[in-house]
Amino acid sequence: MSAIPVPAIDRTAINRANSQHSTGPRTESGKSRSALNALRHGLTAASPVLPSEDRAAYDSHRRQFFDEYHPATPTESQLVQELIDTSWRLNRIPLIEAKLLSGADGLAIIDAHRLLANLGVQGHRLSRQFQKALENLRDIQADRRDRERRQLKDAAALLELHKHKGIPWHPTDHGFVFSKVEVERHSELLKRQNEARQIAYFRFEVPPQLASAAGA
């Protein structure tokens, strides 16, 4: 029994026919929803700055954060950049809301309400993201500064030891990354703090009669 021939499938014709059904929104309602999606994705786009926004204003916004947090490592810089971009997007939300409430976008009421609800969701998400990045940055910077203080104190102690023995010394001799000037400055600070604590003890802690007897 001979096989029944199967007609060839014209894929090109099928794709052409399908394309006629996917040319984008044609009705006003469809166009409104398309605009809605465009605005919504502006809060999740890869670039924090939209084509309609002022790049110079963003650059100024960015400098302010770097001036405030002074990141010292790539991780800190990454977290500061996250704060910059997240806050920039957060600041955009009230502007979009004001435009919607004024009716300047010409969106249908149902689409405007849908966008306002979406903005609320995005605002909560971005706020949580900002807070988490800020907490991480503060924890990392506090840990780094505490570690630096301990290392500077150790370096200052070694500096004073070598001074006492009359032996030349440099921080790199013991693997410190600080300059000698930094270590010397910190050593002087520790000395002054120690003197201040002693004076404060006699001024504020010791009873007046004992302090007078001690000549404080």
Mean pLDDT of the chain: 83
Q: What digits encode the pLDDT tens for the residues 51-95?
A: 889 999 999 999 999 999 999 999 999 999 999 999 999 999 998
Q: Which residue, 131, 63, 57, 64, is CA-closest to 92?
A: 57
Least confident piece of the model among 26-35, 70-79, 160-169: 26-35
- Tell me what pLDDT residue 81 has: 98
Instruction: Name the more confident of 123 and 35.
Output: 123
Residue 142 tokens read as 């506090």
36 Cα distance to chain centroid = 28
- Tell me what pLDDT residue 44 has: 80
User: Is 60 exceeded by the pLDDT of residue 5?
Assistant: no
Q: Are 80 and 66 in contact (CB under 8 A)?
A: yes
Going by pLDDT thresholds of 50, 70 and 90, the confidence category of residue 215 is low
Instruction: Name the more confident of 138 and 43.
Output: 138
Q: What digits encode the pLDDT tens for the residues 100-129?
A: 888 766 777 777 788 888 899 999 999 999
% of the chain residues with pLDDT over 90: 57
- Tell me what pLDDT residue 118 has: 87
**What pTM was estimated for this model as a whole?**
0.69
SS3 readout for 124-140: HHHHHHHHHHHHHHHHH
- Tell me what pLDDT residue 45 has: 81
% of the chain residues with pLDDT over 70: 76
Contact partners, residue 92, CB within 8 Å, separation at least 6: 42, 43, 50, 53
Quick one: average pLDDT of 171-177?
A: 95
